[in-house]
Amino acid sequence: MGTMQLESVPEPKYLHLKTVLSEALDQDFAVGEILPNERELAARFGVARATLRQALEQLELEGRLQRRRGVGTTVAPPRVGVDVGGAQHSWPGESVDGWEPVDAAEEAVLSPALLKLLGTAPGEMVLAVRRSRVENGQVLAAELLYVPASSVPGLSAIDAPAGPARARAVMRELQKLVLDGQDRSVELGSARPEDAKELDRLPGAPVLLVTTRYFTVAGTAAVSVATYRADTCRLTFGDSGDVQITHDARVAS
Amino acid sequence: MGTMQLESVPEPKYLHLKTVLSEALDQDFAVGEILPNERELAARFGVARATLRQALEQLELEGRLQRRRGVGTTVAPPRVGVDVGGAQHSWPGESVDGWEPVDAAEEAVLSPALLKLLGTAPGEMVLAVRRSRVENGQVLAAELLYVPASSVPGLSAIDAPAGPARARAVMRELQKLVLDGQDRSVELGSARPEDAKELDRLPGAPVLLVTTRYFTVAGTAAVSVATYRADTCRLTFGDSGDVQITHDARVAS
DNA sequence: AAGTGGTCTAGACCACGTA
DNA sequence: ACGTGGTCTAGACCACTTA
């Protein structure tokens, strides 16, 4: 074979480990199955635990593994396709899609970026409605829906007690508005401790931040910031929720 | 002050470090400014370098920092808002939006998931068009556009030499088709070494995978898998047509 | 109490960009 | 040649779940 170039740039161990594990997951493991613990895996592959963890972290990021402290590492099911709505000009939760009201309260401090999105002056009253998106008993997303008091006339009349009831009342008022349109953006973020708890993840876990602006003819009526678990969710736009698109949709060159 | 509960569950060091750094970034640093190197920062905060890196990693994930081997760590500009199209029924690249053809070639091996998306039988010829999305001299995304030969009649007549010319020729044929619709999904992934190189990132870097299916009345005409840099990109969906979010929409609670 | 993953340390060496 | 971030090691202890 002569001087076959092995690798001018040797692949890092954790990357090689990742592909080895990935293939093993496809061949030798079923969904939900528990992997050997990290110390044993590290020993079996002859690497330090930290190196093994680097591989596991990426596999978890890609939704192939699920790790829970005190329990173990399991093979994750394919990602859930979560519809985040196409061009439907409607408030989410009008149809049955898993949004559960949690609470509603006046929000005192708003980030400058959010104020700009809302188009409100600092100091103007803004209501924050908390909702959770639940599917199959799993919390997929936590949402904060910011509603300037000025955009909903009937808001001051609400006297429901704190908790889901009040959130529902605000949503009812909101849904009376005729929507003119919406725009959305998606970006990567890390879960704040608050959201992390609700999503059953550790703080800093990767999340998909979906920011939606709702318009009426009068202008911005509300802004929603939804925090989706990045490990388990695939956001879908349109009507192809049934089709599976997983990591291996890409050609393994 | 009595018995003020400090923290029943003490915050991990790297999280505290992250918030401290985050505040420092807002107050004491300008976009593009170079931070002290990791060894010095770690010493300054009295932690091990690995712990400091854990904090830096999350800040980079959130698009606040940019780290380059051999260079240093700099303060990142706000994320770019990248339009990935609303419900417009058009091929991307028809208007001027930064897509640059790279190459086109027959793709031999296709993953089962991709075959299912395309709706083609294994063995059927599928062309793969490579494109890059470039903005301000920066590669934001790498795309693979899979086109079954059956969906484009004029495909076999193409005899352009390999490279951008051939890719352009395929795109021209494709754009003759009348689109009936499309659906899209977004999920988190990690960059394959191949894409990583094109995106000027390390392998495994977090990316946003945008999978789009293009329909004609005859069925699925093509499937695009676009790999966006998650650190620098905020994907926008302009459902309301005219409106563009041009500023930083990040919500830092 | 035992076992799991999560955090943290204090080193070492490597790959890369720049001067 | 030097300084940077990236990889890797071999430990230790902690937080959490389950039995």
Is the per-residue pLDDT at B93 higher than 70? Answer: no
pLDDT at A251 over 50: no
Q: State whether A188 and B203 contact (CB < 8 Å).
A: no
Closest residue to D4 by CA to C1' distance?
B70
pLDDT tens string A178-199: 888 888 999 999 999 989 999 9
How far, in Å, is the CA of A201 from the C1' of nucleotide D17? 15
Q: Which residues of B touch A126 (CB under 8 A)?
A: none
Cross-strand pairs, B235: A186, B82
Contacts of B102 (CB under 8 A, 6+ apart): B130, B131, B132, B163, B164, B167
Assign residue A163 a region (left: φ > 0; alpha: ψ between -120 and 50; beta: otherwise). Answer: left
Indicate where chain A has its CATH 1.10.10.10 domain(s).
13-75
What confidence score (pLDDT) does residue A249 get? 40
Region class of A54: left (phi > 0), else alpha (psi between -120 and 50), else beta:
alpha
> Considering chain B, what is the average pLDDT of its residues?
85
C-alpha angle B65/B71/B77, rounded to 5°?
30
Could you give the CA distance from residue B52 to residue A248 in angstroms, rounded to a whole number? Answer: 33
> Which ranges in chain A are annotated with CATH 3.40.1410.10?
80-236
State whether A240 and B112 contact (CB < 8 Å): no
Q: What are the start-end ranges of the E strands in A125-175?
A: 126-135, 138-148
D9 C1' – B46 CA distance, angstroms?
Answer: 21
Give helix then strand counts, H and E, for chain B: 6, 10
**Would the CB atoms of A251 and B86 count as touching at under 8 Å?**
no
Rg (CA), chain B: 22
- A87, A209, A234 member nearest B239 (Cβ): A87
Which nucleotides along chain D are within 7 A of a protein C-beta? Answer: 3-12, 15-18
User: Among 3.40.50.720, 1.10.3210.10, 1.10.10.10, 3.40.50.970, what is the CATH number of B13-75?
Assistant: 1.10.10.10
Counting residues of chain B whose pLDDT is more than 90, the rounded percentage is 54
Tell me whether residues B243 and A181 touch, CB distance under 8 A. Answer: yes
Could you read off the pLDDT of B130-179 as tens digits, one per residue? 999 998 888 999 999 999 988 888 777 777 788 888 998 898 888 888 88
Most confident by average pLDDT, A157-171, A205-219, B47-61, B114-128: B47-61
Nearest to B248 among A113, A193, A249 (CB): A113
More confident residue, B54 or A121: B54
- CATH, range B80-236: 3.40.1410.10
Structure tokens at A227: 């925090």
A219, A93, A100, A151 alpha-carbon torsion, rounded to 10°:
20
Q: What is the rounded CA–CA span in Å between residue A221 and residue A213?
A: 8
Q: A159-169 pLDDT, tens per residue? A: 778 888 899 98
